[in-house]
Amino acid sequence: MSHAPVPGPVDESVGYLLKKAHSALRSAMDHALRPLDLTVPQYACLEVLRQRPGLSGSELARAVFVTRQSMHLVLKGLERRGLLTRPAVAAYGKALPTELTAAGRKQLAAANRAVGAVERKMLAALTPTAERRLARDLTACAAALGDVPSEDEAEDRVER
């Protein structure tokens, strides 16, 4: 048989392995961050904000691959905990530039230690060369799928 669309064993499919690896990483990060009372999206938000201060909620959402509505809740929570601040009213437009507070930076540093350990554990099986290769291949895969995972998506190019 084997006409065409019968895929091989799932455990050989890149898609499946991608899901598996992501699931394992997510779980490990969750575990590592629990003592700090941070979820993965919260951590990701803080880290992106450290690298790119002043981002708006929508921009953060895109960087972390969630909707801006979800990010809105994350931001409200983190703001209430005093880990970040943003103006009550926009100086220009509607975007509210967000920044870490001292407490936020402190919490983030601890989180980075925990997450760093997880990532090192994950990459322990890879050589530095293999790691760079993996990073490049993953980037290529994401790019091939068109990036821009959420919202918009207005391009559903028919024809062709």
Partner DNA sequence: TGACTCATGTCAGCAGTTTGACACACGTCG
Partner DNA sequence: CGACGTGTGTCAAACTGCTGACATGAGTCA
Q: Which stretch binds DNA (CB under 7 A): 10-18, 35-43, 129-137, 140-148?
A: 35-43
Contact between 115 and DNA (CB under 7 A)? no
Decide if 114 contacts 39 (C-beta within 8 A).
no
Contact between 63 and a second copy (CB under 8 A)? yes
SS3 for 112-133 is: HHHHHHHHHHHHCCCCHHHHHH
Q: Shortest distance, CB of residue 104 to DNA, whole angstroms?
A: 17
Contact between 78 and DNA (CB under 7 A)? no
Contact between 99 and DNA (CB under 7 A)? no
Residues 16-35 that bind a second copy (CB under 8 A): 17-29, 31
Contact between 109 and a second copy (CB under 8 A)? yes
| Binding-site member from 74, 83, 108, 114 for DNA (CB under 7 A) | 74
Q: Of the candidates 89, 100, 109, which has an alpha carbon nearest to the alpha carbon of residue 60?
A: 100
| Binding-site member from 68, 85, 105, 119 for DNA (CB under 7 A) | 68
